[in-house]
């Protein structure tokens, strides 16, 4: 369950930046100021003790003014949640929010499906996306060196006994909003091709300057399923250039294997154990 406190921490992760150390120019300005002030004190006071005390107080005051913002920002930055917690929250939301919505739209009963036959596959979005304000699309470098994103493309693959169902959407994670929903469904007997492929795309990131028209070349690893009517559905399994954590990647090979075995059984009566099965129900006494 998402609590307001947890959402506030998630927002903090994407809005707080690491404290910047004071620049060398500031250090030089302070040093020069201390020298000039010291010369002034020496010529203004004959009592060296008083002159020394005044110089020390002045120096400490300048040092505090100089370093205090850095220490304050550093302390605030440490209040961000650790990245492992962020990953756990994201995975939890995908398995609760997206799973519930997909089952509702596709009219699926999860109680009738094995867990390995239901996959939730996220991939990050860092470009303009219909229905999402550009300022809501953010990313941050995590402690593990990978990026974590606020907006995701989420694809659901459900392998039931007689057909394969798809649910795609855009997920504004921070605001817990599901938009751009799309569904599809292929009966196994209509599928003519199942293959892994790489799709090359060009994207312009949202953090680029308005006059910067540079595009970024991305390689989408996809699972492409085509039916007898030459209609295809592509599931993006990985985008290496987006550098997101392997913890968020889904190994879809088992689903591909299950799908291929089922197709061979139906078409060629191959002697293999079926992988795509409904959950066995206890026999009534």
| pLDDT exceeds 80 at position 94 | yes
Output 271 or 236, whichever has higher pLDDT.
236
pTM of the model: 0.75
Distances (CA, A) of 206 to 142, 148, 152, 221: 19, 15, 14, 22
Q: How many CB atoms are closer than 10 A to CB 89?
A: 18
CA angle 46, 48, 53 (to 5 degrees): 125
Domain residue ranges in the chain: 17-77, 83-268
d(CA 224, CA 235): 7
Instruction: Give me the pLDDT at residue 63, please.
Output: 62
Under DSSP, is residue 34 helix (H, G, I), strand (E, B) or coil? Answer: helix
Q: What is the DSSP letter of 96?
A: I
Backbone angles phi, psi at 75, to 5 degrees: -65, -45
Instruction: Give me the pLDDT at residue 77, please.
Output: 54
User: Two tokens at 108?
Assistant: 């699926």
pLDDT tens-place string over residues 58-85: 666 666 666 665 555 555 556 788 999 9
Under DSSP, is residue 81 helix (H, G, I), strand (E, B) or coil? Answer: coil
pLDDT tens-place string over residues 30-50: 656 666 666 666 666 565 666
| pLDDT exceeds 60 at position 29 | yes
| pLDDT exceeds 50 at position 128 | yes
């Amino acid at each position: 369950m998402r609590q307001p406190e947890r959402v506030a921490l998630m927002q903090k992760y994407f809005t707080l930046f690491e404290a910047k150390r004071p620049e060398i120019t500031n250090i030089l300005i302070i040093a020069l100021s201390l020298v000039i002030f010291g010369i002034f004190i020496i010529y203004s006071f004959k009592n060296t003790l008083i002159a020394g005390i005044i110089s020390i107080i002045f120096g400490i005051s300048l040092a505090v003014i100089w370093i205090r913002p850095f220490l304050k920002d550093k302390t605030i930055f440490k209040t961000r949640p650790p990245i492992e917690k962020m990953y756990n929250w994201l995975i939890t939301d995908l398995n609760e929010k997206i799973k519930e919505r997909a089952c509702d739209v596709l009219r699926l009963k999860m109680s009738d499906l094995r867990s390995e036959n239901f996959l939730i596959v996220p991939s990050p979005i860092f470009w303009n996306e219909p229905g999402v304000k550009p300022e809501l699309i953010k990313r941050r470098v995590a402690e593990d060196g990978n990026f974590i994103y606020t907006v995701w493309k989420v694809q659901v693959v459900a392998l039931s006994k007689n057909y394969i169902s798809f649910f795609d959407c855009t997920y504004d994670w921070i605001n817990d909003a599901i938009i751009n929903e799309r569904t599809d469904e292929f009966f196994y007997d209509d599928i003519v091709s199942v293959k892994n492929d790489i799709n090359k795309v060009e994207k312009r990131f949202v953090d680029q300057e308005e006059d910067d028209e540079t595009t970024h070349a991305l390689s989408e690893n996809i699972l492409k399923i085509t039916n007898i009517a030459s209609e295809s559905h592509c599931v993006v399994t990985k985008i290496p250039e987006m550098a997101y954590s392997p913890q968020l990647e889904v190994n879809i090979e088992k689903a591909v294997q299950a799908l291929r075995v089922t197709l061979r059984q139906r078409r060629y009566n191959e002697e293999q154990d079926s992988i795509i099965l409904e959950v066995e129900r206890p026999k009534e006494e």
